[in-house]
């Protein structure tokens, strides 16, 4: 019997919904609790509990993350009309991720988990590419007008100090479309801090791209703020041998495709939306994508990028064994435990996180895999297993690594 690793500060544990809630319990029972004297502050973000507490539980979980510094979150249902009926909800509660993100004011970093037998579509990508998407403003908080007749379109600003600024957007000679969007220095600055913190954390170069040659004031402000914030982190980055690199978005796209990978690519909201889908698809599988929310003051929330895998859950409810991939959820746990270990100076916890991830790689490299990965694997003979068998195989490898 190995002695369990002790923790000092609890993790914020956010349970979730459907198939991932099933995996959550399996992961804890098989891969965490036998080895770690786990301390968590538990918040049930399952849809029923959110409904019962009028979503207060989500706010409490986010506040706990502010207080304790590290959280691990299971995927959760974002209600829509269909879910309202399915779960007899009182209201169409907001996306928990949206609520947590607005309380922590964080940036989401998505990184693929790569293995030798799954080749990215871009064959020169040797290392994962992390996308950091600014999740505030721009076209996502824009207002629009459809003008049916000719007229003057203007952009107007009335300052609280009585100042007034007005520019003509266009003399519309006929029907057309108009859009007004904004961002704030505060949000851009928070984004920049999160990006530099995460680069230092993961020892990776940071790239940032906008279109400031065309958008001199709007995108120009993004570039300027990043340069200012960089000054605060410059020494630390130089010591680590990592760099900050700014380039135009079109140049960045070309460089990314030609690169070997291995860096963080910070994107404005729309660019991040589009590029994260491109990068994740090119790396293989949504089930192999991790996601971490980093706040500008250094609080962390780890999760998988995928959802609750509803289709598999309905099969599970029918008594069928599923072959749902738990890797991204396991890496959410290892990421959170490692970070807790770093913050509390518990080396054993950090080593355990490494061993747990190592055991996942040992299993995958032996060709033992869930259904989603089997068709993607090259150069080995994959063996398809159920989620339970897959987790059992990981446990076997974990025990070997810890022996
Ligand atoms: P999803 O849960 O990510 O699943 C979409 C499909 O991707 C699945 O049907 C499955 O394909 C495949 N997939 C995703 N994760 C997988 C895994 N771990 N192992 C194997 N296959 C996997 O997305 P969704 O069906 O659009 O959304 C379901 C629910 O999740 C929704 O209620 C949504 O609100 C929520 N959601 C939550 C989060 C979050 O909490 N972060 C994120 C996204 C969505 P096959 O069916 O073809 O096998
Ligand atoms: Mg998208």
- pLDDT band for 1, please (50, 70, 90 cuts): low
Is pLDDT above 70 for 79?
yes
Is pLDDT above 80 for 274?
yes
Q: Which residue has the higher pLDDT, 149 or 284?
A: 149
- pLDDT band for 312, please (50, 70, 90 cuts): very high
CB neighbour list of residue 148: distance below 8 Å, 6 or more residues apart: 175
Q: Which ligand has its closest atom nearest to the C-alpha of 267?
A: 2
Is pLDDT above 90 for 285?
no
Question: What's the whole-model pTM score?
Answer: 0.91
Domains of the chain: 1-113+285-403 (3.40.718.10), 119-137+185-283 (no CATH), 143-180 (no CATH)
Is pLDDT above 80 for 384?
yes
Hey, whose CA ends up nearest to atom 46 of ligand 1? 311
Q: Per-residue pLDDT tens for 350-380? A: 999 999 999 999 999 999 999 999 989 999 9
- 77 Cα: distance to centroid of ligand 1 (angstroms): 10
CB neighbour list of residue 67: distance below 8 Å, 6 or more residues apart: none
* Token pair for 276: 């994260």
What is residue 136's predicted lDDT score, i.e. its pLDDT? Answer: 87
What is residue 36's predicted lDDT score, i.e. its pLDDT? Answer: 98
What is the mean predicted confidence (pLDDT) over 20-39?
98
Supply the mean pLDDT for the chain. 95
Hey, whose CA ends up nearest to atom 23 of ligand 1? 307
Q: Per-residue pLDDT tens for 167-214? A: 999 999 999 999 999 999 999 999 999 999 999 999 999 999 999 999
Q: Which ligand 1 atom is nearest residue 73's CA?
A: 40
The full length of the chain comes to 403
- pLDDT band for 332, please (50, 70, 90 cuts): very high
Q: Per-residue pLDDT tens for 228-257? A: 999 999 999 999 999 999 999 999 999 999
State the DSSP string of 49-111.
Answer: HHHHTTTHHHHHHHHHHHHHSEEEE-------HHHHHHTT-SS-PPPHHHHHHHHHT-EEEEE
- 381 Cα: distance to centroid of ligand 2 (angstroms): 33
Place of tokens 């995996």: 23
Most informative mutation of 18, 307, 330, 364 for ligand 1 (most atoms within 8 A of CB)? 307
What is residue 387's predicted lDDT score, i.e. its pLDDT? Answer: 97
CA terminus-to-terminus distance, the chain: 10
Is pLDDT above 80 for 18?
yes
């Amino acid at each position: 019997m190995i002695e369990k690793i002790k923790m000092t500060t609890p993790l914020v544990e956010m349970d979730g919904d459907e198939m991932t809630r099933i995996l959550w319990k399996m992961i804890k029972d098989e891969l965490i609790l036998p080895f770690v004297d786990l301390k968590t502050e538990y918040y049930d973000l399952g849809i029923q509990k959110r409904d019962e507490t009028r979503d207060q539980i989500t706010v409490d979980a986010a506040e706990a993350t502010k207080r304790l510094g590290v959280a691990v979150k299971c995927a959760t249902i974002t209600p829509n009309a269909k879910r309202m009926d399915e779960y007899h909800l009182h209201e169409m509660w907001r996306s928990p991720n949206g609520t947590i993100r607005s309380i922590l004011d964080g940036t989401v970093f998505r990184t693929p988990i790569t293995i030798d037998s799954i080749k990215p579509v871009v064959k020169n990508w040797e290392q994962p590419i992390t996308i950091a998407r600014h999740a505030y403003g721009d076209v996502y908080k824009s207002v629009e007008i459809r003008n049916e007749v000719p007229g003057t379109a203007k952009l107007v600003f009335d300052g609280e100090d009585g100042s007034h600024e007005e520019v003509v957007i266009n003399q519309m000679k006929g029907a057309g479309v108009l859009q007004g969007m904004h961002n704030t220095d505060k949000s851009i600055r928070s984004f920049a801090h999160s990006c530099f913190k995460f680069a230092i954390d993961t020892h990776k170069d940071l790239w940032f791209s906008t279109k400031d040659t065309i958008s001199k004031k709007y995108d120009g402000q993004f570039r300027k703020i990043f340069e200012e914030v960089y000054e605060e982190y410059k020494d630390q980055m130089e010591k680590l041998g990592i760099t900050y690199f700014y380039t135009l978005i079109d140049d960045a796209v070309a460089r990314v495709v030609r690169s070997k990978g291995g860096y963080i690519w910070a994107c404005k909201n729309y660019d991040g939306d589009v590029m994260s889908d491109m990068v994740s698809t090119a790396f293989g599988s949504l089930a192999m994508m991790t996601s971490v929310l980093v706040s500008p003051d250094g609080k962390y929330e780890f999760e998988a990028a995928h959802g609750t895998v509803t289709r598999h859950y309905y099969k599970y409810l029918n008594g069928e064994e599923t072959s749902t991939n738990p890797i991204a959820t396991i890496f959410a746990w290892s990421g959170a435990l490692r970070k807790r270990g770093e913050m509390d100076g518990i080396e054993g916890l950090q080593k355990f996180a490494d061993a747990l991830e190592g055991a996942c790689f040992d299993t995958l490299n032996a060709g033992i895999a869930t259904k989603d990965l089997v068709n993607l694997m090259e150069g080995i003979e994959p063996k398809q297993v159920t989620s339970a068998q897959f987790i059992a195989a990981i446990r076997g490898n974990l025990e070997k690594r810890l022996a």
